[in-house]
């Protein structure tokens, strides 16, 4: 009986040990799946192609927040709510929001919703937990170094060419940079060179972009495909060119013959009329920003303008923003513009023009003194006498590196010259 008892006792102890070990291992494993700090987010386009970016978890004033990461840009998302295993969060600017479920393994599945001038877009998404690798080096280490400036031609679906300047910075396999067109920059692109191929992507709530290309280092050339937004697709080529100049817009916005001044009155966000003829703008240098709350390059300029105005308004500078939105729905436009205003603590008036950005006649309807408005942002500089002196049809943001500094310098030199008159 003693022998049987000892055998049963040993068996019970072994079972208990296995049970304890299992509980220990599950306890150790659980935090790894439950505590996610970063996700590799893949947004699925209409054609199945994926736009990749990183999403990080953080805390802001004791509350859970998320951060969208693209190269040197970190966009904080503080409007985050949860319900069970679901998360809901919105971009701080733009009509862009997410609805996702966090799976038991920590991965995310869900939907990205984007407002447009037409119907709402719904993108499927998948987020892989604790994955900081945007693109895998599927072809091994990079065979080529492509840092520098490139002369780019992007072929539209109709066969016409859009010129651009690309600036790349390569560190090992890591590749960052941007493309600069005549009217805008493509902001913060982040990716990799692996073997003889490059991959670059970015997402900011307004734009979702993916560049792919093969590198022909013998001919100093690149050839690939540009996936833009939900279904845009264009072929692009480039040749290395260290002295390439910025591409110029072919027919920039300018004053119509016979005009020297702007004449407009639009309502601000509270419904109050604001006119360029108002007393507060007399004998002042006035900057009129033509913008839209849907526009990421307008976001970059608004960030700069808001800070500039706070520092320089006492010198006799005024700013007015004229908004061209997705639709003529005033309440929808107001809600979107208010996000911009709050995000950058804008102190100058932001006026709703009532014309949409996609309306070919928007200039004639709102500012008939100007030729067609071709790009956003467009910035009009008015001297102390009320005369239009310059019109800038682009603003390159911080993702463009040295060209951001040039944009700021061009702006401040123009205003300072007008202030000194």
pLDDT in tens, 247-278: 999 899 999 999 999 999 999 999 999 999 99
Handedness of CA 92, 98, 99, 105 (dihedral sign): negative
Going along 30-72, which residue ranges are E strands?
38-44, 50-60, 63-70
**Residues 117 and 179 placed together within one structural domain of the fold:** no
Q: Which of 95, 129, 163 is the last residue of a domain?
A: 129
Q: Which range marks the domain in which residue 98 is found?
A: 38-129
The answer to whether position 25 is within a domain reads no
The answer to whether position 7 is within a domain reads no
What length is written for the chain? 421
The answer to whether position 134 is within a domain reads no
Which pLDDT value is given to residue 30?
38
**Residues 387 and 273 placed together within one structural domain of the fold:** yes
Which pLDDT value is given to residue 351?
98
**Residues 105 and 176 placed together within one structural domain of the fold:** no
CA 268 to chain centre: 26
Which pLDDT value is given to residue 299?
97
**Residues 226 and 373 placed together within one structural domain of the fold:** no
**Residues 282 and 360 placed together within one structural domain of the fold:** yes
Q: Is the pLDDT of residue 138 over 80?
A: yes
For residue 64, what pLDDT band results from cuts at 50, 70 and 90? Answer: confident
Inter-residue contact 376 to 370 (CB < 8 Å): no
Cα(398)–Cα(406) distance, integer angstroms: 11
Please work out, in degrees rounded to the nearest 5, the angle formed at the alpha carbon of residue 399 by the alpha carbons of 398 and 403: 65
Report in angstroms the alpha-carbon separations of 176 from 60, 106, 114, 217.
28, 28, 26, 18
Model pTM greater than 0.85? Answer: yes
**Residues 413 and 272 placed together within one structural domain of the fold:** yes
Number of H helices, E strands in the chain: 5, 24
**Residues 291 and 396 placed together within one structural domain of the fold:** yes
Inter-residue contact 195 to 213 (CB < 8 Å): no
CA 134 to chain centre: 17
Provide the number of structural domains found in the chain. 3
For residue 23, what pLDDT band results from cuts at 50, 70 and 90? Answer: very low
H or E element at residue 420: helix 402-420
**Residues 202 and 106 placed together within one structural domain of the fold:** no
Domain of 60: which CATH number? 2.40.128
Cis bond leading into 354, ω under 30°? no
Structure tokens at 93: 């600017």
Cα(344)–Cα(67) distance, integer angstroms: 17
CA 187 to chain centre: 6
**Residues 296 and 396 placed together within one structural domain of the fold:** yes
Which pLDDT value is given to residue 35?
60
Cα(225)–Cα(203) distance, integer angstroms: 17
The answer to whether position 382 is within a domain reads yes
């Amino acid at each position: 009986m003693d022998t049987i008892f000892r055998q049963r006792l040993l068996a019970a102890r072994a079972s208990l040990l296995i049970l304890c070990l299992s509980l220990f291992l599950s306890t150790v494993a659980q935090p790894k799946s439950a505590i996610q700090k970063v996700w590799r987010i893949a947004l699925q386009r209409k054609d199945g192609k994926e736009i990749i970016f990183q999403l990080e978890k953080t805390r802001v004033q004791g509350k859970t927040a998320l951060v969208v990461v693209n190269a040197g840009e970190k966009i904080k998302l503080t409007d985050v709510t949860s319900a069970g295993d679901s998360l809901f969060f919105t971009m701080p600017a733009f009509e862009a929001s997410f609805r996702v479920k966090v799976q038991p393994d920590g991965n995310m599945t869900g939907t990205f919703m984007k407002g447009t001038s037409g119907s709402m877009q719904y993108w499927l998404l998948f987020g892989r937990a604790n994955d900081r690798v945007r693109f895998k080096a599927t072809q091994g280490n990079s065979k080529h170094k492509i840092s520098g400036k490139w002369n780019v031609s992007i072929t539209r679906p109709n066969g016409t060419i859009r010129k651009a300047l690309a600036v790349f910075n390569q560190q090992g396999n890591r590749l960052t940079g941007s493309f600069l067109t005549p009217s805008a920059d493509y902001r913060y692109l982040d990716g990799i060179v692996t073997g003889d191929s490059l991959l670059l992507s970015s997402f900011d709530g307004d734009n979702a972009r993916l560049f792919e290309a093969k590198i022909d280092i013998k001919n100093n050339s690149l050839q690939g495909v540009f996936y833009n937004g939900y279904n845009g697709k264009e072929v692009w080529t480039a040749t290395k060119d260290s002295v390439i100049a910025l591409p110029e817009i072919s027919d920039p916005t300018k004053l119509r013959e016979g005009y020297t001044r702007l004449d407009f009155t639009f309502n601000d966000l509270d419904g109050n009329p604001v006119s360029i003829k108002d007393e507060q703008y007399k004998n002042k240098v006035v900057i009129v920003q033509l913008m839209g709350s849907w526009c990421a390059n307008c976001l970059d300029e608004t960030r700069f303008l808001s800070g500039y105005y706070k520092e320089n308004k006492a010198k006799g500078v005024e700013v007015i923003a004229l908004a061209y939105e997705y639709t003529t729905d005033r309440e929808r436009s107001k809600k979107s513009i208010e996000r911009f205003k709050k995000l950058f603590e804008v102190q100058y008036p932001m006026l709703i023009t009532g014309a949409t950005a996609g309306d070919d006649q928007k200039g004639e309807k709102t500012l008939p003194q100007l030729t067609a408005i071709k790009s956003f942002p467009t910035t009009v500089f008015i001297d102390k006498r009320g005369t239009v002196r310059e019109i800038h049809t682009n603003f390159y943001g911080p993702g463009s590196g040295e060209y951001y500094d040039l944009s700021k310098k061009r702006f401040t030199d123009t205003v300072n010259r007008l202030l000194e008159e």
